[in-house]
Amino acid sequence: MIKLRPHHILCIAHYEGKGYSEEFNLKMKEIIKSLETGEEFELVFGADDLCSACPNLKNGICETEEKVNRYDRMTADLLVIGEGQISTKTIFDAAKEKIYKANKFNHICSDCEWSYICRKNEKQ
């Protein structure tokens, strides 16, 4: 089962092929493909399967841990979710309603270096 941290739900929703490295991009595409086939995932607070391919992960901890933990807490609070198995369709629908349509995205991810992609794709 795929392990994902809460804010990666938002990253996946607007991913367009850009990322920290080619390894990261390949991992993101692999995870997205699995989720599109209906695979469910386990929500975790901390390094997940996507983080495993990120160059910012050092000794199991993100170099920007404080920031990504804040993203995770705010995402989980808005979606009213906790650690454990999650239905893929349900959670992406909830993110669309409770975060994007409710204009909460900038509240969560305004200081993310990739947020320009999400804001651009959100308007499409």
Non-local CB neighbours of 69 within 8 Å, separated by 6+ positions: 45
Query: Within the chain, what is the greatest distance between any pair of CA atoms?
Result: 38
SS3 30: helix
Question: What is the chain's Cα-based Rg?
Answer: 13
Environment class of residue 80 by beta-carbon count within 10 Å: exposed (0-12), middle (13-18) or buried (19+)? exposed
* Global pTM exceeds 0.85: yes
pLDDT in tens, 89-124: 889 899 999 998 888 988 998 899 888 887 776 655
User: What is the domain count for the chain?
Assistant: 1
What confidence tens digit (pLDDT) does each residue in 34-50 have? Answer: 999 988 899 999 999 99
Single out the residue of 20, 39, 7 nearest to residue 107, CA to CA: 7
The domain in which residue 67 lies consists of 2-122
